[in-house]
Amino acid sequence: MAERLTLELATPARLVVSAEVDEVVVPGSQGYFGVLPGHAPLLATLGIGEVTYRVGRDEYHVAASGGFAEVRNDKVIILADVAETPADIDRARAERARDRAEGRLAGRAASQEEIDYTRAMCALARALTRIQVASRGQ
Ligand code: ATP
């Protein structure tokens, strides 16, 4: 069993993380799951949340949304629709997005389409994840 994992986290636009790590926690669409060296092969869709990876005692956080993760041969490949490190995140923009989404949810009329609610909930989840990742720093 390899002692470390190789993590590659990319979006269609760029490579966000390429590192040898000890552990990765992935925001799967069915919930968070952890990956350690020796993990069984796995293919999962991503939800909205924080990818956390640990190198020794240091933890790093990346906000991610949509896409998929594959675990195979001690390699974790995460292809996210969008992803930002703490340094990438414009916190004021995320706070505006959060306020917009909360306003939509609060003003939601009962007759509105379910899709509006789902969209607002997803926008809120993205914004809250960004605020959390930004507040953690690197
Ligand atoms: P907004 O309403 O502020 O655009 P959003 O959640 O709708 O937020 P996304 O569709 O998830 O935005 O992302 C579109 C692009 O903008 C992506 O490249 C994403 O990385 C970037 N992005 C979104 N919000 C932020 C932010 N607060 N800081 C930095 N980049 C961001």
Q: Residue 123: is its pLDDT beyond 60?
A: yes
Mean pLDDT taken over the chain: 93
- What is the rounded distance in angstroms from the CA atom of residue 129 to the CA atom of residue 49? 6
pLDDT in tens, 78-116: 999 999 999 999 999 999 999 999 998 888 655 566 668
Please, which residues bridge with residue 10 across strands? 15, 79
Ligand 1: atom nearest CA of 84 is: 20
CA of 57 to the centre of ligand 1 (A): 30
Burial class (CB in 10 A: 0-12, 13-18, 19+), 120: buried
Does residue 31 register a pLDDT over 80?
A: yes
Ligand 1 pocket by C-beta < 6 Å: which residues? 65, 82, 84, 88-90, 93-94, 97, 123, 126, 130
Please give the model's pTM, rounded to 2 decimal places. 0.93
**Nearest residue by C-alpha to atom 5 in ligand 1:** 123
Mutate to test the pocket of ligand 1, among 126, 131, 132 (most ligand atoms within 8 A of CB): 126
What domains does the chain contain, in order, with CATH numbers? 5-86 (2.60.15.10), 89-136 (1.20.5)
Q: What is the amino acid identity at position 65?
A: S
